[in-house]
Each structure stands twice: as C-alpha cells, then as structure tokens.
Chain A
Amino acid sequence: MSILLDRGNRVLIQGITGQMGRFFVEDARQYGTQIVAGVSPGREGTNVGDVPVFASVRAAREATGADTAIVFVPPSAVLGGAIEAIEAGCRLVVATADELPVQDAIEIRAAAQGNGAAFVGPNTPGLISPGKAKLGFMPSFCYARGSVGVISRSGSLSYECCKRLTLAGIGQTTVVGIGGDPVKGTTAAEALELFHQDPETGAALYLGEIGGSEETFVAEYAARRGAKPVAALIVGYTAPPGKKMGHAAAFIGSKAEGHDAKVAMLSAAGVHVASGLSDVVKATQSALASAGRRAERATA
C-alpha cells in the first residue's frame, strides 16, 4: 500500500503544453505513472506525445477516466485550475507552484474539503510512492520502495534525506511534499493520519523547519496511544528570529516557533529527533526498530 497515490491513479496534467508539463509527461511515465490526459484551453484536439489534450478537466475526465490532476500553470492561474479539477470530481489534486497568494491556497483548501478531494501543495515538488508512481518533479533515483512514510515541508530537503535513506537500504511507502506555505492542502497532521491507516507504513519521517505550528500536531500524533513511531528533522537551528527564511511559513515570530522549542516538544512526545541532516538515517532506523519491537510484542 501507499497513501494518496499508487499505480491505479489516472493522471491528467493541467498546463501540459508548458515546459514543466512536457518534462513531467516523460519523466512520470518512465516511472510508471499513468498519464492519460492533458488540459490546455485552446489546444484541445492536439496531442503532447500520445497524450490527448482537452479544453477542460470535465471533458478530459469523461473521455479518459482521469481521477487525479497535477497543475503546472503560472501562480495567477492556479486558483482557477485547481478548483476546476476539484469540482470536476478529481480525488487528488496537486499544485506545485510556489509564489501562490495565501488567499488562493485558503480557497482551494476549502473547495477540496467541500468536495471530499485531497489537495497537496502549494510550494511543493508533489508526491511519490516509490516503485509505483510519481506525481511531481522530484529526482526518481533518490527513492526506493519500503516502509517509511515521509512528510516534508521542503522539497530539496526531502530529496536529500530520501537519498540517504535509500542508500542505507531504507525504502519509503509514500513521500509527500506538504509544502512550505502557512495554509496547506494537506497538513502534516492529515498526512500522518493517512500513514497511520496504511498497513505497509511502519514508521514516519517528518522533515520540518522553524516557523508555524505544524510540529505541534506531529508531537500530538506521536504521543497518542498506538501511534506509529515517528522520526523527525527540524532545520533552522541557525536561523535568526523575525526573518522569513525563503518559505512563507519559515518565520520565527515567537519562541515556540524556534528550533529548540520544536525539538524539545517533539522529543518529549517520543519522536526520534535527528540532531542534524547527518543523523537522519540513524533517527529513522531507531523509529523503525521501535516499530519492530512493537510488532514483536503484539505477536508474542
């Protein structure tokens, strides 16, 4: 199993005729993702490779049975595109764009909730279920199939950490880039809940940073009875307060949003917190080991 994405998703690409869309068709197909349609108003009836292009998500869904959308359009067009996909009945919509106004993220999230769709993004590379399918532009060689569910606020940090896991022989069920913005389609808490339900996921790795309150919910999950073991890395130990560190949400506005407070809170909840990037594999191994011990106790 995996969460949100597997071989069964039938994917349509909004903005398929752009540079990113064309790159993604090739890359994602090579990985095993079913790319069934593209949407590009005004280009309907054409093809990108052998992928048929439609004028609307609804038309694409009717003709191809697409049930998943990835939005590769400029930030000013993301709101329209993502809501179109949600209201046309897609069950999973990914918007990778950074520089999306937060007001638009709020509206897309509300639409997704109202329609029972999952929304991942913005400001994310997307998600990947290693060995099954990818829905984003992460470098495929960093991943291998396995039992760790990964949640990350930062794209490149997730590539780096997953490559380290993979080289150490630790595979992943699904790697979800929840993004670096304050309002997210899928929060860390929601992703953890999905991993909790996924029988193949043995432990979770959370990659967080300074700013915001996402980590509070990671700690709440970890402290819960019967929770799966969680490892975590929080970056930004050297980040000064009161400065936005690239991501809109990476801003230390109060002590609780700083590195040390988050690490202390997670540790107190029983999270295996890595001391730094070099320690991520070890922290994940110790989370997996405690998952193993738990399984032994359960069968004994």
Chain B
Amino acid sequence: MMMLEHEGKKLLDSVGIGVPKGMVVSPGTAAAAKASGRIRDYPVAVKAQVRSGGRGKQGGVMKAENREALDAAVKRLSETDFGGERPEALLIEPWLPIERETFLSVAVDGRADGYVVLYSPRGGVDIEEGPPPARYSVGAAHRFRAHEMRRVLQDAEPDYQVSEKVITIAQRLVRTAALHDCTTIEINPLVKLAEGGMVAADAKVVRDEWAAFRNREIAGELGQAKRRVDRLLRDCLNMQHMYVRLEGDIAMISGGAGMTMAVMDMIAEQGGRPACFLDCSPGPTSARGYRPAFAMLDADPRVKVILVSVFGGGTQMQRVANAMKEIMATRKSRKPVVYRLDGTNVDQVPAIFSEFGAHNHARLEDAVGEAVTLAKASA
C-alpha cells in the first residue's frame, strides 16, 4: 500500500531526516489561490500527489518562478490524469539548490532474509537505466551495522562526508521500516544541497497492509482505498477477496493465488481470455462470502462466463457446494457458470450439485474447455 509523497515525507521528518518545508493543498484553483497568497519565495516546485509510478516522466512536477506560473501549474496538475489517477493533493515546495542527486532505498528482500539497503551516487528519474546500485543485505532491522554499510559504500561513494550521512539516514530508515511496517522506503532523489546538507526531495513509502491490525494509519488508508472503488468491488474487498481486473471475458471465482494463476494460464492455453484474477480463499466459505463475487461479475458486461474453480485443503468442498446452491437459488443473471471443485470432502459435492442441476467437472482441463467454448459462443 503506497503512501502519498507528502505522507511519506512526514514520516521521514518525524525521525529527523531532512525534507523540504512544503505546503499541501487540495487540487483545484480555489485552494491553490489561497496557498499562493502565502508563498513569498520563488521558484517553487509543484508536485502532483499520486500513487502510480513514473510521475516525473509524465510531467507531474512543475517549476513555478512566480505567482502566475504557480496558479497555472496548480490548474494544470489538478486536471491531469496520471496512469488513470487524478492527484489527491498537490505539494508545493521551495525549489532546491541541488548539487547532486543520489538514490537511497530500504526494502524487504527475501534474499536478504529481511531488509536490503540500495544506494546509488547518481539518482533521479533515470535510475533504472543506470548501473545497478550498491547493495547492503541487512536482514532483520537490528542487524544493521554502520561499518558493514561503510564497506559496501567504499567503491560506490567517493565523498566520505556524503557516505557518512547516507549511512546515518539508512540506519534510521531501516528502523523506521521495521517499526512502522514499511516494506519499502525509497528516497529518489536524496539530494546533496549546495551547502552540503542531505534532503529527501521525494519519498516513496510502501506499507504492509497486513499490519493494519496494529497500525491505525494503515487501517485508515485501507478503509479509504476501499472507498475509492465502486460498491460492487468494495463488497468483495470487504470479504477479503483479492481482485485484479484483466482484459478477457472468462471470469474466475477461485481459491489460492497460485492455482488462480494456473487456471488463468490454462484458459489462455486453450484459446480463451481470462477476465480477472479473483481469489476468494481468504473470505468465508459461505453464500455470504461468495455472493459479492457473483454480484460484481454478473454486473460486468465484459464477463461472458464464470468459472468457479476451487481446490481446497482447509476449505471444505461441501461448504462451497452448499454456498453455490444457496446463491444460485436467487441469482438473476443468466450468465453460464462452470464448476470445478476438488479437495477436502469433494465426494459430497455431486449430491449437493444434483439438487440444483449443476455439474462438477472432475478435470480442470474439461472445465476450462467448457468455459472457453461458452465464451466463444456468446461473443
């Protein structure tokens, strides 16, 4: 879950990492006019607050030399779409006297058994095209050692004053990540100012949504993210379903992430096109759990067929079958549903399915084949 830049900077500021003194304003001209009245020193940077990446390359940061230019920048950025996303806010900051841009990131990495610190002496929007950054595998946060990072930076950063500042910041970032359940804290660029200080000119902070139970900010952001989507998807998210929209016409109600992807791949292999990734396994195995999934897919005009594919271990198949029976008794949509249930107690499924005339495919290949045929017939 990505935080907005100004939220990330607030977190950095709270642990004593330098950030520009900025002002957050709502998009639109009214709030901006009020803000521009309060700004004395130009030039300023106006920065769209969006969660999608590549903002810099999409013109999401503008320089304003005076009040008129500031108003124009605010108007322009307020009306721009960044990867389908309108800015939630704008951040206005003093334009920094940059001597050099560096890159510093702390992220969770399986190879490091925990956190890894990445540093590059040349940061900025083209970081991905440059040479790979220096890499310090920390592991658990308490294992951070300044002297180990110093060794890693030896070849990467010739300026020892910069190097020492980067080590201090990195150590704070690792501790902050652990304490605040951040999976990534990336500062790109971490700027060396003309007077020598280091300032975080940007902040990309990704937080672990599974830590919502112990972090009010994460819980709050999750709630807001749900409010940003339409009601049908929101109902699914409230059942802990995991949904990714795709371009095809065969929708899935599925269990388990790996299995859902395997079925998507098989649909493509048989000449069909998956309409979504929808993993319902974390939700309740009852009609209450699956009903929002049907409601969303039934209302989606692109979806021609629904393939229910669950191979359960802890999920018991007679419960899933009974949930299907209950849902089908009141379902209005006539979109065809194809079933393939397997796993714990699957031997009880045929009897339940016969009560409402459904057929359970024994082989996944057959279920996918039927779904692909039905989708083609209705196209």
Q: Interface of A with B (CB < 8 Å)?
A: 20, 23, 75-76, 98-103, 106-107, 109-110, 113, 125, 136-139, 152-160, 163, 180, 182-184, 187, 207, 209-210, 212-214, 233, 235-240, 243-250, 275-278
Residue of B nearest to A183 (CB): B110
| 29 contacting pairs across A/B (C-beta < 8 A) | A75-B210, A101-B210, A109-B113, A109-B114, A110-B113, A110-B114, A110-B140, A137-B344, A138-B313, A139-B313, A139-B344, A156-B311, A157-B259, A159-B311, A159-B312, A160-B262, A160-B364, A182-B110, A184-B110, A236-B264, A238-B246, A239-B277, A245-B242, A246-B256, A246-B257, A247-B258, A250-B257, A250-B258, A278-B365
A residues in contact with B177, CB < 8 Å: 103
Contacts A235-B261, A238-B274; A102 near B108 (Cβ below 8 A) = yes
| In the complex, the 7 A-B pairs of residues with the closest C-beta atoms, listed nearest first | A154-B258, A246-B257, A156-B256, A157-B258, A156-B259, A101-B211, A137-B314
Segment touching A, from B41-49, B68-76, B152-160, B265-273? B265-273
CB proximity of B253 to chain A, nearest CB, Å: 13
B121: min CB distance to chain A, Å: 21
Chain B residues near A214 (CB-CB < 8 A):
110
Query: Could you tell me if A238 and B181 are in contact, using CB atoms closer than 8 angstroms?
Result: no
Asked whether B5 is an interface residue with its Cβ less than 8 Å from the other chain, the reply is no
Instruction: Say yes or no: A125-B314 contact (C-beta < 8 A), given A102-B183, A235-B258.
Output: yes
Number of interface residues of B (CB under 8 A): 53
Give the complex CA separation of A187 and B342 in angstroms. 28
Q: How far is the CA of A213 from the CA of B257 in the complex (A)?
A: 17
CA distance A103 to B210 in the complex (A): 10
Max chain B Cβ within 10 angstroms of own Cβ: one of A138, A158, A183: A183
> Could you tell me if B140 and A102 are in contact, using CB atoms closer than 8 angstroms?
no
Among A98, A163, A240, A250, point to the contact of B342 (Cβ < 8 A).
A163
- Given A107-B140, A160-B364, the answer on whether A99 and B259 have CB atoms closer than 8 Å is no
Q: List B contacts of A153 (CB < 8 A).
A: 258
Please tell me if B326 contacts chain A, counting CB pairs below 8 Å: no
Would you call B255 an interface residue if the criterion is a C-beta within 8 Å of the partner chain's C-beta atoms? yes
Complex Cα–Cα for A100 and B183 (A): 13
The answer to whether B244 has its CB under 8 Å from any CB of chain A is: yes
**Least Cβ–Cβ distance between A184 and chain B, in angstroms:** 7
B38 close to A (CB within 8 Å): no
A212 to B109, CA, bound (A): 8
**Beyond A103-B211, A139-B313, A209-B257, is A235–B108 a contact (Cβ under 8 Å)?**
no
**B210–A213 CB distance below 8 A:** no
Specify which of A102, A187, A247, A249 lies most central, judged by the most chain B CB atoms within 10 Å of its CB. A102
**Least Cβ–Cβ distance between A273 and chain B, in angstroms:** 13
**Which B-chain residue is minimally distant from A237 (CB atoms)?**
B265
Give complex CA distance A169, B246 in Å.
37
